[in-house]
Amino acid sequence: MTTAFYVRKYKQEATIWLRISYKRGTPFRKSIGEKIPVNAWDSKKQKVKDLVTTSSYASKINKRLELIAEKYDKETKGEDINEALLENIWIRIDEKKSKTFTEFCDSYYKWIQVNIHPKTKRPYAKETIKKYEQTIKKFKEFQDKEYEVNFKGLDKNFHTDFINYFKDQGLAENSIAVFIKYLKVMAKQAKDNHPVNPFILSNDFYLPSNETYDVYCTIDEIRKIKDWKATSESLDNVRNWFIFGCWTGLRVSDWHRVENIDSEFIEITPLKTKATSGKAVVIPLHPWVKELPTLRNISEQKFNEYIKKVARKAGITDQVYGSKMVNVNENEEENAIMRRELGYYPKWQLISSHTCRRSFATNNYLLDMPTLDIMQITGHTTEKNFLKYIKVTPKQHARKMAEVWNKHF
């Protein structure tokens, strides 16, 4: 492997580049991101000349070039050199020179895409990578609209302003909490090499949360949808997927991945855990699922649109408290401003693909299935989180207790 530095000239300026030749094929190249006057480069020594015009920063740039060469020399010894390895080393080098927290976040985002998670020893899950991407996008949006935030600016005022900005945009607190969580993770990664404000690493930089008002369908409501006579093949297919989801507990992202089915069980490694624990789940086939015909593929967007029609036609029309996206700019449909608003709505309007999974968890809990058995399928790791997830009212808990007493006294 040969490491070299060279310049690309443009008019009176030159940009310094790194070139690494290894094996046969195209060399690995990266721009160092430093510009110098054309006449300031020493091509033989591969460094910046110590001229009067460059003396103030020549030594600084040359020191950086030395460190880059040393880094590659040290981290490729005894390794099978390939582009992925060289790219990985570069990302870590680039990360350290980040001048702003935004630059660091961009570098860290590149890093997680080509590295394994330090705890799970597996590649980062696609869901996790997507959350980092969304967080960085929202962080940049905040800065574009409000003010720039550097490492030291990750303080209490930023925390308050960030939450309030996205609340005003109509985002739920639980969604904002995801962004806060991943900003904290990236700040923790940056603290060893950058002047990160300690406030963001403290418990005071909390994750906002509020109660979710997602609905679930009772067993009687699922039966009504099951027994409804479909008026078209597309609605029939949606109804069948709904029943499948309500009695398997799978996320919609896993519906079309089910292949390993025998007469009694489904075995699948959910996408969310595939890249972390890699743990498969085994789900018994519910009698209603066994009756289903072959299901045709459907997108989540189409499912969420059509299942509301199915639920309405099946008579799921009770007024319930929940939240949905509404246009708060009613006078201008073309310039709609969508906000999530709480209120009483016909239940069919609130049903979506996620209703299936929540219905599975809640109904099986109310059927006195052992909580840990249900958690094995839903993937909840703590009983506390599971009990927060299901939709059981205080009266339903009281009824369960009364039924137990009636059996014994």
Secondary structure (DSSP) of 198-211: GGGGSTTS------
Average pLDDT over the chain reads 86
Average pLDDT for 95-103: 76
- Cα 121 → chain centroid: 18
Type and span of the H or E element at 320: strand 319-327
pLDDT beyond 60 at 53? no
Tens of pLDDT, residues 266-287: 988 888 776 666 788 899 999 9
DSSP 200: G
**pTM to 2 decimal places:** 0.58
Letter for the amino acid at 34? Answer: E
Letter for the amino acid at 301? Answer: Q
Residue 202 exposure: Cα atoms within 13 Å on the Cβ side? 9
Domains and CATH numbers, the chain: 2-81 (no CATH), 98-210 (1.10.150), 219-408 (1.10.443)
Q: Residue 404: pLDDT band by 50, 70, 90 thresholds?
A: confident
3-state secondary structure of 339: strand
Region for 278 from its dihedrals, namely left if φ exceeds 0, alpha if ψ lies in -120 to 50, beta otherwise? left
pLDDT beyond 80 at 56? no
| pLDDT at site 129 | 92
Nearest to residue 204, comparing CAs of 149, 157, 242? 157
3-state secondary structure of 158: helix
